[in-house]
Structure 1
Amino acid sequence: MKRLFFILLSFSLITSCKEKEIQVVENEAVPFTAATVDNIFTDSISIRAISIDSGKIWYAGNNGKYGYFDLNNKKDFNGHVAKDTLKLEFRSIAKTASHIFILNVGSPALLYRISKDGSEIKLVYQEKHEKVFYDSMQFWNDQEGIAMGDPTDDCLSVIVTRDGGATWKKLSCDQLPKITEGEAAFAASNTNLIIKGNNTWMVSGGKKARVFHSSDKGNTWEVFNTPIVQGEAMTGIFTADFYDSKNGFIAGGNYEKPNQNFGNKAITKDGGKTWNLIADKKAFGYASCVQYVPNSNGKQLVVVGSSGLHYSSDSGENWKQFSTDKDLYTIRFLNDSTAIAAGKNKIVKVNFKKR
């Protein structure tokens, strides 16, 4: 009887272990092997800011242009903002449940709130300064949002809203870490400002390439050094993404030496406190946008930049080139196998293939 009991117990344990092994394998994201790219929108426009909202791809671009492409009915809406004789270039976009927000680079800074139903477009913030240059914008929730940009004083410029974007207030430099002379940010793809829950990260470049972190929706800040190439005006971190509150990836390099592939990518496993270079002297050079693949356990990433679209299935250690199109500036995922990218004169749909 005892022998039978031990046999049954052993069989049960083996079966249990096998079930657990199977479960682990099932939860492991299957790597991509290739990608196809389909044009879905074409115009004479430079697009560095997109936002996906219920099947609509909202975009903001140069020459005062903004709008959306509806994936469901294949129709598009083209809007235009005119302000005196200014040629507005929108490189930041964000959304709430009811509105889209677009923010231009240069002075004066102009932030517009647009009703999704098309009933209203309203200027909700403006700032004049010879150095003003906003780079990125995001929302924590439907009431609270943040935008960041180059310093006009001795800190990065940061504005916040706590009333759904109706009003915005600039933070005092007393509330922010001091920057180094020549340290700024890049409006490459609306990805140097990242939000996960209450956590917020901002990245810089130029004389210093650093990561600024807030754990309380922008009320207090700390700053950390990175090993990304720095010291010249067009070097540093151009893009960042976090899979969760701990795991993140930064990329960039030297915009003036786009093939330089060392000191241009790094990872963190502690929420941005420490960073380690990865894939040094391998894969791509200058990168304008990095994104984690959804539901990939932080293992899969895609990057667009001067050498096309690259993909990694091992947290950035190794990369495969899926496209040589150097005119894609920004990318976002619709789901865990489809993304939308935009850039020079187009928006495209990227379909990733699995084995």
Structure 2
Amino acid sequence: MKKRTILLFSVCLLFGCNPEPAEDNSTPFLDAEIQNFQVNTSIRALEVIDDRHVWYAGAGGKYGVTTDGGVTWRHDSIEIEGTFPEFRAIASTSDAVFLLSVASPALLYRSDDNGQSWQLVYTESGEGVFYDAMVFMDDMNGVAMGDPVDGCISVILTGDGGQTWSKISCENLPPAEAGEGAFAASNTNIATSGSHIWIATGGGTARIYHSADKGKTWEVHQTPIIQGGTMTGIFTVDFYDENNGIIFGGDWERKTISKSNKAVTSDGGKTWELISDGIGPGYRSCIRYVPGAGGRSMIAVGIPGIAYSFDSGRHWQLISDEDFYTVRFTPSGDAAWLAGNGKIARMTLKTSGAHLTVPKNAQ
């Protein structure tokens, strides 16, 4: 088991100096302690149950779980007719966990025995079928979304704890625009708060779909995020409460570009304001608010690096150059789990430093 420590500057790293004086929003991230885990798959979906109980879903039909904070892992895979699904979405309730594959046929599995056995509860085949994200709002109500089919984005809902799922008709959704889709980059195309659901899209346009009634009715709003290209748009969305949210993305083919790639809302997603435009981090695949921080502190991960903001995204600090696809906080907000290509990490947030536990040389 290898360990290494990376020293991180405690000065304000703004990804290109901001000529205006920055607020005192820096925390002295002094080091990153790295400890190897062995994970042999690319992981874009994490589900953090509590500080010690964490699930992942990955490529090659693989999934895994730890119940002791990463000391030990149980790894397994699902095979169907000689093929292994690509899982890029995972979600849970208090008594079940769910895995969702991407391309046709989309396969949604449910386990109520901690992954010992799996039941196929939804499947969908056809041209254009590609599911990107899934989340539960509570123990009964869940939602998953995918790319447009038959003129509208794909949205499936459950109201019985994931035992059955049904797809929303295009008659009940706004029509998709030309080239509109979503990116299965981090299982964060969907955000929820109370009865509200927000869905982020990209490609030909970058829009936010919103439902205030658990998916019964929908509206859609434009955003100022870069759009119009194959790999441009919103890659991730998070809401701190029913009013305050953030979207992040950019141009995957020009990852260093930091213009028109991050925006916030204070009216539930109706209008969006660009933040740190032209400065701060470029493309990122996942953004998460720190729980209990009043909507001011957040972490963005992607390629390259982990960025942290203490002032609602106005200024950013690079805390590690490690590449990750996705991040999830523990309920307390004291730690975060991250995952990427062949690696899982646990990062503990402290005012005296950020301690990052990450696998290297995964086998």
Q: Taking structure 2 as the reference length, what is the TM-score of the superposition?
A: 0.87
Distance across 2 between alignment mates of 1:341 and 1:161: 28
1:156 aligns with 2:153: yes
SS at match of 1:150: strand
- Which has the larger share of helix? 1
Q: Radius of gyration: which is bigger?
A: 1
1:315 maps to 2:312: yes
Q: Indicate the SS of the match to 2:171.
A: helix
Equivalent residue for 2:220? Answer: 223
Matches within 5 A, 1:132-281: 132-281=129-278
Residue in 2 aligned with 1:21?
A: none
Distance 1:336 1:31, change over 3 A: farther
Q: Distance in 1 between matches of 2:146 and 2:73?
A: 30
1:275-331, Cα deviation, whole Å (9 max, x unpaired): 0111011111110000001111111111001120000001100000000012x1100
**Shift in Å, 1:72:** 4.8
For 2:141, give the aligned amino acid. E
Q: 1:112 to 1:245 in 2, by over 3 A?
A: same
* 2:63 equivalent among 66, 84, 109: 66
DSSP 3-state at the match of 1:44 = coil
* Distance in 2 of aligned mates of 1:329 and 1:309: 10
Q: Which residue of 1 aligns with 2:39?
A: 43
Deviates more, 1:236-245 or 1:328-337: 328-337
Q: In the aligned structure 1, how far is the partner of 2:339 from the partner of 2:171?
A: 37
Larger RCO: Structure 1 or Structure 2 (Cα < 8 Å, ≥ 6 residues apart)?
A: 2
The one-letter amino acid of 1:267's match is: V
Contact 2:78–2:84 (CA<8 Å) still a contact in 1? no
Query: What's 2:110 paired with?
Result: 113
CA distance in 1, matches of 2:103, 2:35: 30
2:97–2:115 Cα contact (<8 Å) kept: no
Letter in 2 for 1:176: L
State the distance in 1 between where 2:69 and 2:229 align.
45
Task: Name the amino acid aligned to 1:293.
Answer: V
Runs of 4+ in 1 over 6 A off after TM superposition: none
328, 345, 354: which one aligns with 1:332: 328
Deviation at 1:152, TM superposition (A): 1.1
Could you tell me the percent identity over the aligned residues?
46
Cα distance 1:160–1:75, how it changes in 2: closer, same or farther (>3 A)? same
**What is the Cα-based RMSD across aligned positions, in Å?**
1.5
Tell me how far apart the structure 2 counterparts of residues 163 and 320 of structure 1 sit (CA, whole Å): 42
Q: What is the Cα deviation at residue 175 of structure 1? A: 0.8
1:104 partner amino acid: S
Quote the Cα distance in structure 2 between the aligned partners of 1:309 and 1:110: 32
Whether 2:27 is the aligned partner of 1:32: answer yes
Mark the CA change 1:277 to 1:72 in structure 2 (over 3 Å): closer, same or farther: closer
1:52 aligns with 2:35: no
Which deviates further from its counterpart, 120-129 or 333-342? 333-342
Q: Structure 1 residues 107 and 301 mapped into 2: Cα distance closer, same or farther (>3 Å)?
A: same
Q: Could you tell me which of 332, 343, 354 is aligned with 2:340?
A: 343
* Cα 1:72–1:342 shift into 2, 3 Å: closer
CA distance in 2, matches of 1:283, 1:219: 37
Shift of 1:42: 2.1
TM, length-normalised to structure 1: 0.89
Unmatched 5+ stretches in structure 2: 1-24, 353-363
Cα drift, residue 182 of structure 1: 0.6
| Separation of aligned partners in 1, 2:69 and 2:91 | 21
**Paired residues, number:** 325
User: For 2:290 and 2:28, how far apart are their aligned partners in 1?
Assistant: 14
Deviation at 1:156, TM superposition (A): 0.5
Write out per-residue CA displacement over residues 120-156 of structure 1, whole angstroms, 9 at most, x where no aligned residue. Answer: 3111111001210000001111111110000111110
Which residue number in structure 2 is paired with residue 302 of structure 1?
299
Sort the Cα spacing of 1:346 and 1:39 in 2 relative to 1 into closer, same or farther, 3 A.
Answer: farther
Which shows bigger deviation, 332-341 or 103-112? Answer: 332-341
Q: CA deviation at 1:240?
A: 0.8
Confirm or deny that 1:131 pairs with 2:128. yes
Between the aligned partners of 2:116 and 2:102, the Cα distance in structure 1 is: 25
